[in-house]
Structure 1
Amino acid sequence: MTTTGAQSADAVVVGAGHNGLVAANLLADAGWDVVVLEATAVPGGAVQSAEVTAPGYLSDLYSSFYPLGYASPVLDGLDLGAYGLSWRHSPDVLAHLLPDGRAAVINRDPDVTAASLEQFAPGDGKRWLNAYTDWLDVAEPMLTTITTPFPPVRGGLGLLRRLRIAGALRLARRLVVPVRKLGDELFDGPGGPALLAGCALHTDLSPEEAGSGVYGWLLAMLGQQVGWPVPDGGARQITNALVARLEERGGRILYGARVDRVLTARGRAMGVRTVGGALWRARRAVLADVPAPALYLDLVGAAALPSRLVEDLAHFRWDGSTLKVDWALSAPVPWTNRDIAGAGTVHLGADLDGLTRYAGELARGELPRDPFLLVGQMSVADPSHSPPGTESLWSYTHLPFRHDWRAEEIAGHVQRMEDVLEAAAPGFRQLIVGRHVAGPADLEKGDPSLVGGALGGGTAAAYQQLFLRPIPGLGRADTPVDRLFLASSSAHPGGGVHGAPGANAARAALARDRALTGAAYAKVISTANRAIYPT
């Protein structure tokens, strides 16, 4: 491989999603010259905002509420507040509306949450407070464990010191228990289990699936601890802050620069080529904020990889496709149950058994007849999203993973979604002054990393987590190609706007480049990779 005539940088980052921007910032902090090559015309990946429904109504085009981002040690360490990022909270964090019309509500005041759950069964309020106390005992080391490379030594030791062996074993059980079982163990009434299961179904897991409990527990407890805040002025403010921080440190972002090849020589990443033939030489590292199959099969190519790795990629599973609709409403949503009017996020359309049916239909490749909706009341959370007295609303629902969705299928499912909203808020349709539909193909067009409309970079199932993410391996950002690092949500710890995959990739690149220990680091990683991916 030759890079004669190529432009150069210490690090080339492929993709300006939030993980790519986090990685670029951390490398720039270390004094590296960094260039980010972004295929689209804008930065941010799935962290963007725009007016797409009606003038004066701001929509977050992909993600909106950020409990993991707000609590993330990675993002906190970047001090994005100094670059314009601030947060807002809705009056209530989350409401789950049950088919009988009752709602379970999380409020940042634990006693208010407890009072909501007490109406479902005597003692469930106290049970919630006990569960929250248990969470507070492990929250800090748990978040450190989640957001650091595998194996999570520091966070793991912190958990062990706090919990001792017996407590650590009980926590280990909680990490794999299905959310239905967890809800049954923690509560007597249906309110608490519905909250946990609804949170778990932000992923592609069924309430009966191993590991679903930890997702439900994590999101619900973070909601109690820190809320589910939104950036003041829209999701784009996270991206704007990351870009401003990077540029202040000399980092560069080039737009419309789609990388079509990672250039390698003698088992090492040397740089990249973009569509059109432009070459970029990477003096120290290439970091890729793209899905694992795209990196390995498209950008590197099977011929440069161990055959066993290529075989394992055939079993990589995407999370489900997604259908998202934004609405501009002339007035707030006319909920029949006013208890959910102050919730930034509303779970709508199913109780626990209904969530199981919904997940089962998805698993069978069927369009759910009664879709479960995740709804965001953006103007409730941040009034700047729409004119006074109105509402900028969105909802998304999961679909079976497919690339060939027909327009009429999408349109029909949008009607089902609006039927669910109309049933819970009669008169909803009369308030619509603008609508924007983003089906799986539209989501992927806007952010090429959202393959088939999958938001998580791969399934959240236990068989594709930790050292099994994205395939059986080290559970780290390192790849079998020296100085090439996976920085996307396909890497541990997975989806969510918390920056951990980008940070882990940056840390790995810095470790590989250290003058005294980098060679030893590379030898250890290479030896481990050869054991896992024999040629």
Structure 2
Amino acid sequence: MVDAVVVGSGPNGLAAALVLASAGLRVQVHEAAPTTGGGTRTEELTLPGFRHDVCSAVHPMALASPFFRAFDLAAHGVQLRQPEIPYAHPLDGGRAVLAWRDLDRTAEGLGPDGAAWRSLLGPLVRRWSQVVDTAMSDLRRLPRDPFAALLLGLRTLEQGTPAAAARFRGTEAAALLAGVAAHAIAPPRRLAPAGAGLLLATLGHAVGWPVPAGGSQAITDAMVARLEQLGGRVVTGDRIDDLAQLPPARAVLLDVSPAGLLRIAGDRLPAGYVRQLRSFRYGGAACKVDFALAGPVPWADPACARAGTLHLVGSAAEARTAEHAVVRGRHAQRPYVLAVQPGVVDPSRAPAGKQVLWTYAHVPNGSPRDVSDQIVAQVERFAPGFRDLILATHVVPAAQAGGHNPNYVGGDISGGAVTPWQLVMRPTARWDPYRTPLPGVYLCSASTPPGPAVHGMSGLHAAGRALRHRFGVRTDPLALLRAAR
């Protein structure tokens, strides 16, 4: 007998399960894959001894999100290691723009735009926890710190509109910010990606962009271990195609996409709700390529060897061009490439002297194309000689991404298009986006607010609703987590 069932063991599903278990409920998690974690897994994808993160690799939200601040990964044995340079943006000519943890040091490297960078991000960095609390809320209530919300809102309005052109005089600061904003797989100079970019840039200076020692699987393993300590149970290799497969429970939380909800419960849902789920828009996608390398990447700018994350696209104009191509359903000739070199701080990822390189390129949703040649060309552009170091590759085109995580519909790793409407009204236009029309059934995936990233907050918000509605527990979910720690 169980009180609550969770389908999906990604970070949001596990977060929901932990909140429910912290309230003293009997919880069971069902996972279709043979291993837990969803997008937060680590495997030997290329050669023996080379450990690659299957999806997420860099985790600022593991330090910043309210869920993980309450859960405290360090207390559960997870080492989050900090690259000296959170992210770098190589440019042609053998130079790169560097985002250091220190805001002032970063500004000093931006020349005439240093003061503009400092004035843009400084107020956000000083109030980073309040800014994160606003961004990670359910987007339904007044913010606890209206001033922090106003700071983020006004800067998003500037950077997401043509007004952004007036901020920087040169090209380097603009490129640095555009590279971060493009994480949203959308043109940087739009509201939603601009807000995401400002939040990520703020966290780079406030908490860093760490990588977990041993890989992202360490985060999942810590969450599963704590869940089991609280009496929860995880069943792997158990694909749920119908709610009838689940054991009787007072609450069911689904860490699935809208398409997954339709597959599992479509015949039980009201026609109007089904229409809204079918109209949900999925966004641009990623073709992921992992490399096993004979040695470190030979960056033209040696400082890039100290960066955990690199944005490989060139100028801000090139980033906008590449992302606009994806939105229009085309492959960019020079795509935006996100690269992570975890070996900068974690030598356990590869045999001695070797390295792994994690990359993906943005492509149209559903693309079957292997763009590894374009990714290699973009890395080689900023690191001549890279091609000669490749020992093996592992490629997952966007169209195949759903094979290891059904939530990545068409290769959309964000759980839905990142637009202002779809961040707030996600996945449907309802005041309670987590509660479905089925009694006791909730959605807790990245297709609900606050959206993508490994933060656990969609799971926390959904679990809080389930506790109130189904069990009469009105305690703050974060307080439950802290009390059970």
TM-score range, shorter chain: over 0.9
CA offset digits 1:10-62 (Å, max 9, x no partner): 00101111111111111111000000011111100000111222222211111
* TM-superposition CA deviations, 1:439-469 (whole Å, max 9, x none): 2244221112222221011011112111x11
The aligned counterpart of 1:133 is: 122
**Residue type of the alignment partner of 1:458:** G
Is the alpha carbon distance of 1:515 and 1:239 closer, same or farther for their aligned partners in structure 2, counting shifts above 3 Å?
closer
1:298 and 2:263 are equivalent in the alignment? yes
Q: Percent identity?
A: 38
Contact kept, 8 Å, 2:124 with 2:151, in 1: the verdict is no
Cα deviation for residue 96 of structure 1 reads 0.8
* 2:153 corresponds to 1:172: yes
- Name the CA shift for 1:393/1:309 in 2 (closer, same or farther; >3 Å): same
Alignment of 1:378-393 (within 5 A): 378-393=342-357
Selected match of 1:312 from 268, 272, 276: 276
1:89-131, CA deviations, whole angstroms, 9 ceiling, x for partnerless residues?
Answer: 112111111234431111112232112212xxx2x22222222
Whole-angstrom CA distance in 2 between matches of 1:82 and 1:207: 37
TM-score, with structure 2 as normaliser:
0.93
Match in the other structure for 1:11: 4
Tell me how far apart the structure 1 counterparts of residues 436 and 92 of structure 2 sit (CA, whole Å).
48
Where does 1:250-399 land on structure 2 (aligned, <5 Å)?
Answer: 250-262=231-243, 272-273=244-245, 279-282=246-249, 284-295=250-261, 297-301=262-266, 303-399=267-363
The equivalent of 1:487 in structure 2 is 444
Select the residue among 367, 384, 387 that pairs with 1:426: 384
The 2-side partners of 1:244 and 1:515 are apart by 27
Cα distance in 2, alignment partners of residues 479 and 424 from structure 1: 48
Q: Counterpart of 1:91?
A: 84
Q: What do residues 414-445 of structure 1 show as CA deviations (whole Å, max 9, x unaligned)? A: 11111121222111111111211122244221
For residues 482-509 of structure 1, give each alpha carbon's deviation from its aligned partner in whole angstroms, at most 9, with x where no partner exists: 2111110000011100000011111011
How far the C-alpha of 1:325 sits from its partner, in A, is 0.8
TM-aligned CA deviation for residue 374 of structure 1:
0.6
1:133 aligns to what SS in structure 2?
Answer: helix
Structure 1 349/137 Cα, relative in aligned 2: closer, same or farther at 3 Å?
closer
Q: Deviations over 1:291-310 (max 9, x none)?
A: 02321x21111x43333222
Instruction: Tell me: CA distance 1:177–1:126, structure 2 relative to 1, closer, same or farther (3 Å).
Output: closer
Q: What are the Cα deviations for residues 357-414 of structure 1, in whole angstroms up to 9, with x where unaligned?
A: 11121122111111111111110132221233332112101110116x1xxx31xx21
Task: Report whether the alignment pairs 1:461 with 2:428.
Answer: no
RMSD: 2.0
Mapped to 2, the partners of 1:329 and 1:446 lie a distance apart of: 24
> Which of 9, 29, 33 is residue 22 of structure 2 equivalent to?
29
- Displacement of 1:145: 2.1
Does structure 2 conserve the Cα–Cα contact (< 8 Å) formed by 1:292 and 1:491?
Answer: no
1:157 to 144, 152, 155: 144
> In the alignment, what sits opposite 1:143?
132
Query: Structure 2 vs 1, CA of residues 336 and 449 (structure 1 numbering), >3 Å: closer, same or farther?
Result: same
Over alpha carbons, which structure has the higher Rg? 1
Q: How far has the Cα of 1:142 moved from its partner?
A: 2.0
> Where does the alignment leave 5 or more consecutive residues of structure 1 unmatched?
1-7, 263-271, 274-278, 519-535
Instruction: Note if 1:501 corresponds to 2:458.
Output: yes
Quote the Cα distance in structure 2 between the aligned partners of 1:192 and 1:133. Answer: 14
Separation in structure 2 between the aligned mates of residue 194 and residue 392 of structure 1, nearest angstrom: 26
The 2-side partners of 1:378 and 1:61 are apart by 13
Aligned residue type for 2:238: A
Q: SS at the partner of 1:149?
A: coil
Deviations 1:202-256 (A, max 9, x none): 1122123232221111111111111100111110000000010001111001111
Shift of 1:196: 1.4
Structure 2 counterpart of 1:450, from 379, 397, 408: 408
SS of the aligned residue for 1:211 comes to helix
| Cα separation, 1, equivalents of 2:349 and 2:190 | 37
SS, match of residue 34 in structure 2: coil
**Rounded Cα–Cα distance in structure 2 between residues aligned with 1:16 and 1:238:** 12
DSSP-derived class of the 1:201 partner: helix
- Report 1:464-479 matches (<5 A): 464-466=422-424, 468-474=425-431, 476-479=433-436
Secondary structure at 1:259 match in 2 = coil
Residue 84 of structure 1 aligns with an amino acid whose one-letter code is: G
Aligned length: 475
Residue 203 (structure 1) aligns with: 184
TM (norm. structure 1) is 0.85
Larger CA deviation: 441-450 vs 228-237: 441-450
Aligned to 1:240: 221
CA distance in 2, matches of 1:421, 1:137: 34
2:206 to 206, 225, 234: 225
CA gap 1:319/1:311 in 2 versus in 1, 3 angstroms: same
Using a 3 Å threshold, how does the CA distance of structure 1 residues 174 and 307 change in structure 2: closer, same or farther? farther
Aligned to 1:525: none
In the other structure, the counterpart of 1:107 is: 100
Q: Is the 8 A contact 2:40 2:55 kept in 1?
A: yes
Instruction: Tell whether the 8 Å contact from 2:41 to 2:53 is kept in structure 1 after alignment.
Output: yes
Give the CA deviation at 1:475. 5.0
Q: CA 1:21–1:517 in 2, change beyond 3 Å: closer, same or farther?
A: closer
- 2-side partners of 1:383 and 1:181: how far apart? 43
Structure 1 residues 46-65: aligned runs within 5 Å: 46-65=39-58
Specify whether residues 400 and 248 from structure 1 end up closer, same or farther in structure 2 by C-alpha distance, changes over 3 A only: same
Q: Would you say the 8 A contact 1:150–1:474 is kept in 2?
A: no
Verify the 8 A CA contact 1:74 1:147 in the aligned structure 2.
Answer: no
The 3-state SS of whatever aligns with 2:3 is strand
Partner of 1:532: none
How far, CA to CA, are the matches of 1:14 and 1:516 in structure 2? 22
How far did 1:178 drift? 4.5
Q: Contact between 1:176 and 1:212, CA under 8 Å: does it hold in 2?
A: no
Give ranges in structure 2 of 5+ residues lacking alignment.
476-485
In the alignment, the residues of structure 1 paired with residue 152 and residue 456 of structure 2 have an alpha-carbon distance, to the nearest angstrom, of 24
Name the stretch that deviates more: 206-215 or 24-33: 206-215
Contact 1:150–1:476, Cα closer than 8 Å, also in 2: no
Alignment-derived partner of residue 478 in structure 2: none
Q: Give secondary structure in 2 for the equivalent of 1:184.
A: helix
